[in-house]
Amino acid sequence: MSFELPRLTYAYTALEPYIDARTMEIHHTKHHGAYTANLNNALHGGAWEGKTIEEILASAGTISAAVRNNGGGFYNHNLYWEILAPGGARQPEGVLLDAIHDAFGSVAALKEAFAKAAVTRFGSGWAWLLLQDNKLVVSSTPNQDNPLMDVAEVKGRPILGIDVWEHAYYLNYQNRRPDYVEAFWSLINWDEVARKFNG
């Protein structure tokens, strides 16, 4: 049993002009593809082979750097493609909206906190909206770490994540990470985020 690179449910052109097709194709086939292959190679024949990705990430502090980095890369990109899937609600609704209001006061305040986490993450990493003890919080992580990891500064279950590695935006935005973060916000499929919130 090994992990498989998921097929996208939409075309590489589907997020244009905000995320260009070339970036999507390289990001999915080369970057996500490499994390997946390298994860399988690192797990092969070892004690963690056959475990779920969640089980593996929960022990990030004790597994090898290769499994931590590639396992994080595998999981994080799966989530990223899912919450960017075209269609779905353009704004949070229902119980998710209530939870956002409880935690942040407004969607605008959440957006501001999320953008700040994404823009101020130094170097490569991710910003997250996650559930921690049934409350929504925003955080960021370096490299391919994520909130499921025992080593994460802020732990919980991620329901929304933005990749702020330069490979996610450089062709279109060069050094303008804030513009990419702003564009990302308008691409979020809130039905997918709600599914993760409820899951």
Q: How far is the CB of 114 from Mn ion (least distance, A)?
A: 17
Number of shown-chain residues binding Mn ion (CB under 5 A): 3
Q: Is 87 left (phi over 0), alpha (psi -120 to 50) or beta?
A: left
Q: Is 145 in the site for Mn ion (CB under 5 A)?
A: no
Q: Closer to Mn ion at the Cβ: 32 or 100?
A: 32
Instruction: Identify whether the C-beta of residue 145 lies closer than 8 Å to the C-beta of residue 72.
Output: yes
Number of Cβ within a 10 Å radius of residue 1: 8
Alpha-carbon span 64 to 128, nearest angstrom: 24
Residue closest to Mn ion when measured from CB atoms = 163
**x/- letters, 47..86, toward Mn ion (CB under 5 A):** ----------------------------------------
Q: How far is the CB of 168 from Mn ion (least distance, A)?
A: 5
Enumerate residues 24-43 that contact Mn ion by CB under 5 A: 31
132 bridge partner residues: 135
Q: How far is the CB of 154 from Mn ion (least distance, A)?
A: 20
Q: Which stretch binds Mn ion (CB under 5 A): 2-10, 37-45, 163-171, 178-186?
A: 163-171
Q: How far is the CB of 163 from Mn ion (least distance, A)?
A: 4
Q: How far is the CB of 183 from Mn ion (least distance, A)?
A: 16
Q: Closer to Mn ion at the Cβ: 23 or 194?
A: 23
The correct pick among 3, 56, 145, 163 for binding Mn ion (CB under 5 A) is 163
**x/- letters, 100..119, toward Mn ion (CB under 5 A):** --------------------
Alpha-carbon span 42 to 62, nearest angstrom: 14
Chain residues that interact with Mn ion, rule: CB under 5 A: 31, 163, 165
